[in-house]
């Protein structure tokens, strides 16, 4: 399990892409100081979540969220005794059928604060993961609309708040040895 001090260091290393992310980083760092488990969905209406921008030689994976109807990266809540890094990979598998792995070292590329369902506030930790360039195969209970997009198409299709981070991801992708 990632310690909160390690997570704090990872968050502090992020170079924010815009004012929204600067505010999200500050709020997330503050949230880490609150009492209790910052990941516990039932403990507090304000909790950390985890997601992954999954990349391969085919680009980046987005799925049309079955409840929200918007195109986003896979992600969700962090289970008890689970690290956010593990949650991002688990959610990727659950929502896309893709078996992904983290870059080495693990890349926390973005943090976003946004409203969640039932009056909750999500502090989303957004990691980079790599998967083989195979077709996604989401299970029946997940959205069947999931696919690989080149970075330009992802910026056009994705939810509008993702545009800056997808542009950052596209630039960073060129520096990674991701040729799966």
Write 107-110 long-range contacts (CB < 8 A, 24+): 107/172, 108/10, 108/11, 108/13, 108/14, 109/14, 109/53, 109/165, 109/168, 109/169, 109/172, 110/14, 110/17, 110/21, 110/53, 110/165, 110/168
Q: Does 34 score more than 90 pLDDT?
A: yes
| Average pLDDT of every residue of the chain | 94
The residue-averaged pLDDT of 121-146 equals 95
Contact 84, 50 (CB under 8 A): yes
Band of the pLDDT at 1, cuts 50, 70, 90? low
Q: Does 14 score more than 80 pLDDT?
A: yes
The total number of residues written for the chain in this structure: 180
pLDDT of amino acid 179: 64
The residue-averaged pLDDT of 97-120 equals 94
Q: Note if the bond before 169 is cis, omega within 30 degrees.
A: no
Question: Phi and psi dihedrals of 151, rounded to 5?
Answer: -65, -35
Q: Does 21 score more than 90 pLDDT?
A: yes
**Which is higher by pLDDT, 49 or 178?**
49
pLDDT of amino acid 18: 96
Helices (H), 70-162: 84-96, 151-157
pLDDT of amino acid 51: 98
Domain 4-173: top CATH class: alpha beta
Dihedral sign of CA atoms 41, 90, 161, 25 in order: positive
């Amino acid at each position: 399990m990632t310690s909160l001090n390690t997570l704090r260091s990872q968050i502090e290393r992020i170079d924010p892409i815009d004012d929204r992310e600067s505010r999200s980083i500050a709020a997330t760092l503050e949230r880490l100081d609150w009492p209790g488990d910052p990941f516990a969905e039932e403990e507090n209406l304000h909790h950390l979540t985890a997601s992954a921008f999954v990349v391969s030689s085919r680009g980046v994976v987005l799925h049309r969220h079955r409840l929200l109807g918007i195109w986003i990266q896979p992600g969700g809540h962090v289970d008890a005794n689970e690290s956010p890094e593990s949650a991002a990979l688990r959610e990727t598998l659950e929502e896309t059928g893709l078996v992904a792995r983290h870059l080495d070292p693990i890349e926390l590329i973005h943090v976003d604060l946004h409203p969640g369902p039932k009056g909750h506030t999500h502090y989303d930790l957004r990691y980079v993961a790599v998967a083989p360039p195979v077709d996604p195969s989401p299970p029946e209970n997940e959205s069947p609309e999931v696919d690989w997009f080149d970075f330009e198409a992802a910026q056009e299709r994705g939810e509008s708040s993702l545009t800056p981070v997808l542009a950052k991801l596209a630039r960073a992708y060129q520096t990674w040895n991701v040729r799966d």
